[in-house]
Amino acid sequence: MNYCTQAQLETVVGTTLIQQLTDDELTGSGNAQIAVRVAKACTDASSVIDGFLRLRYSVPLASPVPALITKISQDLTLFELHRRREHEVGMPAGALQAQQQALAQLKAMRDGDMDLGVEPPPAASSASYGSAESDEPLFTGETLEEF
């Protein structure tokens, strides 16, 4: 499950920037590969998020996704999209800073220093398995001979 969408990204940074970062063929907004590339970056960002949170929460997170996770996903996705063009135009300082802040927030959530606002999964069962106490040995030479 992706925690952000192309439409959300376009609302944040504009359609033009998304097209500039993903239209490798330079064919314009009708290029179907733009959506494929954005979806892959969203999936990659969501995988990073799930990787940090899986020890503390059930992932993927259920809808509605907390707004903070959507923001983190957008920041990580935009970083990934900028990274595709880094060799051509460099990495914008704002994208790098947002990515670093997003990772710091994920680490804080993982470590329990930041509350995500969703219930963590129930603790592992501490079911007790029966025990037998006896002064007599469980296995004797006689019982072992049968094997």
**Using one digit for the tens of pLDDT, what is the confidence trace for 110-137?**
999 998 887 766 555 555 555 556 666 6
Q: Is the pLDDT of residue 75 over 60?
A: yes
CA–CA separation, 72 and 3 (whole Å): 9
Q: Dump pLDDT digits (tens) for 90-105.
A: 899 999 999 999 999 9
Rounded to an integer, the average pLDDT of 39-57 is: 96
Judge whether 138 lies within some domain.
no
Q: How many domains does the chain have?
A: 1
Rounded to an integer, the average pLDDT of 25-48 is: 93
pLDDT score recorded for residue 123: 59
Q: Strand, coil or helix: what is 6? A: helix
Domain that holds residue 82: 6-115
pLDDT score recorded for residue 29: 77
Judge whether 31 lies within some domain.
yes
Judge whether 131 lies within some domain.
no
CA–CA separation, 142 and 131 (whole Å): 23
